[in-house]
């Protein structure tokens, strides 16, 4: 099987790496990819950008691929999966209509209500007055979300009513701006990827992500600064419960509406004292959770994604997993997430090979004119390591991070620390 992967982040690098380990996969093409993926797959440019359907179809045709995996949300919401399907390709990734589960928080709430999925109370607002009413009705802490895609920057959680209103004003000022004011959900957060072929659902292993830029969950939200899996502190029944109460009803509701969801339904949950509640749906694999989830998946990935793309997930059977723990730490550029500095040389990646199990996945990397590896984005690298215990995986991943030099870079030093110390509890 020949596979085309669309994207250029560490999530796609992890997908490419896992596909490369599947004996049924003969070749992997990536568009546009990055210098890290260039070493293990054929990278093709996408002249019109990641959401350019015509270029994606052209690359898929030229290479005669058997499967296309769409990584990021932007091309999904823009309909790239639809264009590829119309051109006759098997695609892992939802149609634009189904990707609205991520593209519009108001739409996601509507589907959840119809499917009786447990989530926070919410009101969709189009004026500042409606927002003020909703804030007062729900009380602090206030949760205000931009309705549309905002690359991790659309949500404000605050005790400060004025700050909540300020965020709402900024979102409403956009063309067609809408905001969702939501009940605050307390409890540890979990990411669960549910692979679906439009009818049935197979859950992957739960993971936990660290969204804030600084240690102790300080500072602004980011795309994600690190992750680990498995979650020894979470109930063993969690994945099954989420499938039964959340993912399966959602997939059925989407099919009932005539817009079946094929791909990963990424369920972002809060494990509240009253049980798991959906914080958000995404329509794709999460970054950086994918880096740790795929590090442990021993079922061949190409066959799994191909089965989902072709409506034959019931042929796959139970997924198998390594018993090891995986941790990933994101190395971010100076000034990320505000205005990440680019163009700084990156050294020491080869030295990571000396650390058992550790490896480096590329995200915002590029080549200078002289071929030097340089930073080219906010999240630059995702360093991954495995261990027999979480503590071993943590110490390996941080040893590996220390080998890498990138001027001005920063990373969190407390990824998976609370779990290692047994400080996490449900409810």
Instruction: Report d(CA 101, CA 188) in Å as an integer.
Output: 23
Q: Nearest 5°: phi and psi at 21?
A: -90, -5
Please report, as residue ranges, which positions from 210 to 239 form the binding site for ligand GLY (by CB under 6 A): 224
Out of 22, 146, 147, 287, the residue judged to bind ligand GLY by CB under 6 A: 287
Q: Residues 246-285: x/- map of binding to ligand AMP (CB under 6 A)?
A: ----------------------x----------xx-----
Q: Quick one: what does residue 286 bind among ligand AMP, ligand GLY, none, with the CB cut-off 5 to 8 Å set by partner type?
A: ligand GLY
How far is C-alpha 33 from the geometric centre of its chain's CA atoms?
17
Q: Are 75 and 56 in contact (CB under 8 A)?
A: yes
Residue among 89 and 336 whose Cβ is closer to ligand AMP:
336
Rule CB under 6 A: say whether 146 interacts with ligand GLY: no
Residue among 222 and 375 whose Cβ is closer to ligand AMP:
222
Q: How many Cβ atoms from other residues are within 10 Å of residue 99's Cβ?
A: 31
Q: How many Cβ atoms from other residues are within 10 Å of residue 185's Cβ?
A: 21
Q: Which stretch binds ligand AMP (CB under 6 A): 94-102, 179-187, 232-240, 325-333?
A: 179-187
How far is C-alpha 9 from the geometric centre of its chain's CA atoms?
10
C-alpha neighbours within 13 Å on the C-beta side of residue 246: 29
Least distance from C-beta 155 to ligand AMP, angstroms? 4
Residue among 253 and 289 whose Cβ is closer to ligand GLY:
289
Q: Quick one: what does residue 197 bind among ligand AMP, ligand GLY, none, with the CB cut-off 5 to 8 Å set by partner type?
A: none
C-alpha neighbours within 13 Å on the C-beta side of residue 135: 26
Rule CB under 6 A: say whether 364 interacts with ligand AMP: no
Q: Are 169 and 190 in contact (CB under 8 A)?
A: no
Rule CB under 6 A: say whether 209 interacts with ligand GLY: yes
Collapsing DSSP states into helix, strand and coil, what is residue 326? strand
Q: Quick one: what does residue 217 bind among ligand GLY, ligand AMP, none, with the CB cut-off 5 to 8 Å set by partner type?
A: none
Instruction: Report d(CA 203, CA 242) in Å as an integer.
Output: 9
Which residues share a beta bridge with 126?
A: none
Least distance from C-beta 192 to ligand AMP, angstroms? 13
Q: Which stretch binds ligand AMP (CB under 6 A): 26-34, 183-191, 259-267, 357-365?
A: 183-191
Rule CB under 6 A: say whether 8 interacts with ligand GLY: no
Please report, as residue ranges, which positions from 147 to 186 form the binding site for ligand GLY (by CB under 6 A): none
Out of 230, 286, 337, 366, the residue judged to bind ligand GLY by CB under 6 A: 286
Q: Residues 289-308: x/- map of binding to ligand AMP (CB under 6 A)?
A: --------------------
Collapsing DSSP states into helix, strand and coil, what is residue 364? coil
Residue among 292 and 333 whose Cβ is closer to ligand GLY:
292
Please report, as residue ranges, which positions from 192 to 231 form the binding site for ligand AMP (by CB under 6 A): 211, 221
Instruction: Report d(CA 214, CA 220) in Å as an integer.
Output: 8
Q: Which two tokens stand for residue 313?
A: 């997930």
Q: Are 287 and 10 in contact (CB under 8 A)?
A: yes
Out of 157, 417, 424, 426, the residue judged to bind ligand AMP by CB under 6 A: 157
Q: Quick one: what does residue 120 bind among ligand GLY, ligand AMP, none, with the CB cut-off 5 to 8 Å set by partner type?
A: ligand AMP
Residue among 248 and 328 whose Cβ is closer to ligand GLY:
328
Q: Quick one: what does residue 143 bind among ligand AMP, ligand GLY, none, with the CB cut-off 5 to 8 Å set by partner type?
A: ligand AMP
Sign of CA pseudo-dihedral 409, 325, 289, 356: positive
Instruction: Report d(CA 12, CA 383) in Å as an integer.
Output: 14
Instruction: Report d(CA 248, CA 116) in Å as an integer.
Output: 11
Least distance from C-beta 281 to ligand GLY, angstroms? 10
Q: Are 266 and 73 in contact (CB under 8 A)?
A: no
Length of the chain (residues): 427
Instruction: Report d(CA 246, CA 65) in Å as an integer.
Output: 33
Interface positions with ligand GLY (CB under 6 A): 209, 224, 282, 286-287, 289
Interface positions with ligand AMP (CB under 6 A): 120, 143, 145, 155, 157, 182-185, 189, 211, 221, 268, 279-280
């Amino acid at each position: 099987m020949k596979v085309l992967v669309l994207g250029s982040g560490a999530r796609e690098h992890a997908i490419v790496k896992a596909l490369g380990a599947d004996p049924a996969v003969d070749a992997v093409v990536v568009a546009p990819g990055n210098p890290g993926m260039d070493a293990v797959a054929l990278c093709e440019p996408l002249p019109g950008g990641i959401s350019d359907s015509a270029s994606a179809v052209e690359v898929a045709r030229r290479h005669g691929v058997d499967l296309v995996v769409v990584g990021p949300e932007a091309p999904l919401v823009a309909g790239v999966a639809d264009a590829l399907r119309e051109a006759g390709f098997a695609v892992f990734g939802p149609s634009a209509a189904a990707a609205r589960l991520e593209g519009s928080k108001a739409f996601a709430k509507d589907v959840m209500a119809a499917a009786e999925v447990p989530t926070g109370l919410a009101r969709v607002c189009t004026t500042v007055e409606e927002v003020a009413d909703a804030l007062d009705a729900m009380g602090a802490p206030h949760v205000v979300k931009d309705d549309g895609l905002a690359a991790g920057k659309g949500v404000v959680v605050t005790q400060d009513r004025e700050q909540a209103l300020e965020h709402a004003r900024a979102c409403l000022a956009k063309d067609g701006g809408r905001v969702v004011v939501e009940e605050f959900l307390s409890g540890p957060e979990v990411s669960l990827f549910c692979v679906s072929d439009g009818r049935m659902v197979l859950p992957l292993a739960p993971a936990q992500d660290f969204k804030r830029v600084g240690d102790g969950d300080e500072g602004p939200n980011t795309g994600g600064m690190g992750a680990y899996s498995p979650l020894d502190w979470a109930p063993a029944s969690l994945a099954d419960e989420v499938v039964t109460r959340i993912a399966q009803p959602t997939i059925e509701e989407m099919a009932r509406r005539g817009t079946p969801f094929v791909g990963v339904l990424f369920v972002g949950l809060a494990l509240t004292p009253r049980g798991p509640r959906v914080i958000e749906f995404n329509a794709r694999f999460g970054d950086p959770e994918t880096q740790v989830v795929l590090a442990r998946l021993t079922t061949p990935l190409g066959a799994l994604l191909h089965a989902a793309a072709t409506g034959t997930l019931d042929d796959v059977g139970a997924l198998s997993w390594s018993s090891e723990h995986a941790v990933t730490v994101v190395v971010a550029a100076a000034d990320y997430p505000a205005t990440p500095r680019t163009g700084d040389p990156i050294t020491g990646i080869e030295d990571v090979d000396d650390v058992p199990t550790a490896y480096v996945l590329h995200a915002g990397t590029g080549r200078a004119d002289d071929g030097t590896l340089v930073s080219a984005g906010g999240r630059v690298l995702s360093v991954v390591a495995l261990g027999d215990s979480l503590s071993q995986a943590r110490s390996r991943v941080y040893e590996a991070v220390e080998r890498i030099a990138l001027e001005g870079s920063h990373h969190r030093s407390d990824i998976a620390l609370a779990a290692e110390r047994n400080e996490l509890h449900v409810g």
